[in-house]
Amino acid sequence: MQKKPYATKHGNQYPSGAKSSDGGVNFSIFSRHATSVELLLFETATCDKPFQTILLNKESDRTFFAWHVYVIDLPVGTWYTWRMDGPFEPNQSGLHFDKNKQLLDPWAHAISDKRWNRKAACKPGDNELTAMRCVVVNDHYNWDGDIPLRISSEKCIIYELHVGGFTKHATAKVTHPGTFAGLIEKIPYLQQLGITHVELLPIMAFDEQDVPKNTADLGLKNYWGYSTHSFFSPHPGYCVTPEQGTHLKEFRDLVKALHNAGIGIILDVVFNHTSEAGSDGPIINFRGIGDNTFYHHDKTNKSVLHDYTGCGNTVNANHPLVSRFIISCLEYWVRDMHVDGFRFDLASAMARGEGGEVLNDPPVLWGIELSKQLAKTKLIAEAWDAAGLYQVGSFPGYRWAEWNGIYRDVIRKFIRGDKGLIPDVATRICGSSDLYESQGRLPISSVNFVTCHDGFTLHDLLSYNHKHNSANGEDSRDGCNNNLSYNYGVEGETDNPIILELRRKQAKNVFAILLLSQGVPMLLAGDEFLHTQHGNNNGYCQDNEISWLNWALVEKNADILHFVQHMIALRKRHASIMRRRFLSGKVLGGKDITDISWHSDTLNTPLWDDPEARLLAFTLAGVNHDESDLHVVMNMSDQAVTAELPVITAKNWCLSVNTALKSPFDIISLDAQEPIQSNVYQINAQSIVVFENKH
């Protein structure tokens, strides 16, 4: 039965998107150059035809560049799209209006991609049967008093994970695999691990069909999610019942459950490009509304999009409208969704002006930093882009932390046995003062990591000399070639017990260095039980067992998990590892020793100038009289050494960590530690030893 058309009135310019109230729904959308705008209303996410099409009046339903209409008595749960007509001048103005294309609302809070066909959106003409749709949502939610967590950055331990891959494997044994709900079921595991924050790979709605043709022909899809199109909407693929428009509730349930467990949530966000790709990409929303506003274009030929991201387009982030869109979006996720922070993918692309030039003071980045609503929100930049701009140590602003790619590379080289790195290793362990201190920034500006989603897992870093990406359909052209990895004699899997034992020891060494370093440590999910992608260092398209975490490894590699849990506990009980200010080498706070002193196997003789050196030791003073001091010896050479221990009075050095020992003796809880009855200790080859002093 045909629905009776809903009556309309003029509506309001603000807020953008669809906002329901007791009397109906206000719709508002921006388009500077549209000449005609239609709102299409649907009963479901998948029905063939709209039950009503509303043509907006250019004279009465437009305020400046906002088109708006109020639909009286329209209920929550109504699905909708937009259509716009206007100039089609790709070369002259960069505009791509197509009156037959159904468009997503960029401000939509929930969308469906159930019938989506990317190929149809790349071609001119009607895509009525293959377009994505938005839904009017009920924004009410009972937070039960929840607010974003306020964990000091120096106390943070970040755990990067993929919502889908974390629970999709059958061994996860959750009720709703690959969803926000599935992740909720794993919160007890996260608590036992001891991390303070999860950093989720993109969960804003993205295009799973955005992969190269050869990759798509293999039945693969965009798995990581770095192909966002709807920045206000949780990804429907991570929801249990997205066809019911439950996106917001399901995501908020996750946030509330994490906060109840004392765990913060950081979102990996992609404001550097969108899924609309290059000049031959699909029309989804921004391109059909105002291509020349939202993207960087060549000055002489507007059909050419500047690509600083490697993904076909670059968001024109410092255009006033786009900048406001981005900041409003971030504020929404903090204010209405209670997230605790953001990690910005290829953030340096956001430092470029409308001509692509690098700006000293990019308005969008300063707008984010100075936003009152974001004042206590974690801000983390991947401080580079795909066009050669590298800003680690120089990213605009003061409050931003950075993924420290320099830390990653130095520690990888040190672990594999590269020589002569001792001064650089010491600098990285101390929070990379060379990058941040002169700017008035802090150790917490450095997010330290050795592995992340992009590249080898820890297991594979220690098992492969070369990437093995043939499964991706790109003839292994994709993925990084400079992995700084080492296989210890055999490429990939092996039954050799000597190699296997060395790899396990090196895994513990990585975790020990990472969790003993000043700054903010970040772990990759699954590394703590040696998850492997079998040498694939670019699993962006592998929504399958290559990428999914196999939870059977928790039991198989329980010794590594045990070590990581106890290393996290060690870090948490030592404020000296979580300093907010840089170490000085001076006596501070009434202590009788300097805050840090450097050694080799001989006290007070660090090997700063030795080109062969692979040994570093240091003594780290507790920040108060109640905290034990630490003495750490890192021996990445292939020879055992006998190291001197500092002479102390009234206390004893106790062995806390020795990565050369088998579990559970490789890390000893505080109450089980026993004094060392000697002033020297043998440090095995390629191992790390930590001592704590106590009465």
| Chain-centroid distance, C-alpha 633 | 32
Q: How far apart are CA 48 and CA 391, in angstroms?
A: 49
Q: How far apart are CA 390 and CA 385, in angstroms?
A: 7
**Could you tell me which residues come within 8 angstroms of residue 213 by beta carbon, excluding any fewer than 6 positions away?**
none
| Chain-centroid distance, C-alpha 328 | 20
Q: How far apart are CA 588 and CA 594, in angstroms?
A: 7
Residue 484 near residue 458 (C-beta atoms within 8 A): no
Q: Which ranges constitute the DSSP H helices of 179-236?
A: 180-185, 187-193, 213-217
**Could you tell me which residues come within 8 angstroms of residue 249 by beta carbon, excluding any fewer than 6 positions away?**
141
Residue 195 near residue 155 (C-beta atoms within 8 A): no
Q: How far apart are CA 219 and CA 215, in angstroms?
A: 7
3-state secondary structure at position 529: helix
Going 646 to 652 to 657 to 662, the CA torsion angle's sign is positive
Residue 42 near residue 48 (C-beta atoms within 8 A): no
Nearest partner of 101 among 78, 68, 124, judged by Cα: 124
Strand partners, 379: 342
Nearest partner of 124 among 100, 149, 158, judged by Cα: 100
Residue 14 near residue 28 (C-beta atoms within 8 A): yes
Catalytic residues: 345, 382
Angle between helices 320-335 and 363-370 (to 10 degrees): 30
- The beta-strand segments (E) located in 61-216 are 62-63, 66-72, 79-85, 88-89, 95-96, 111-112, 133-135, 158-161, 197-200, 204-206
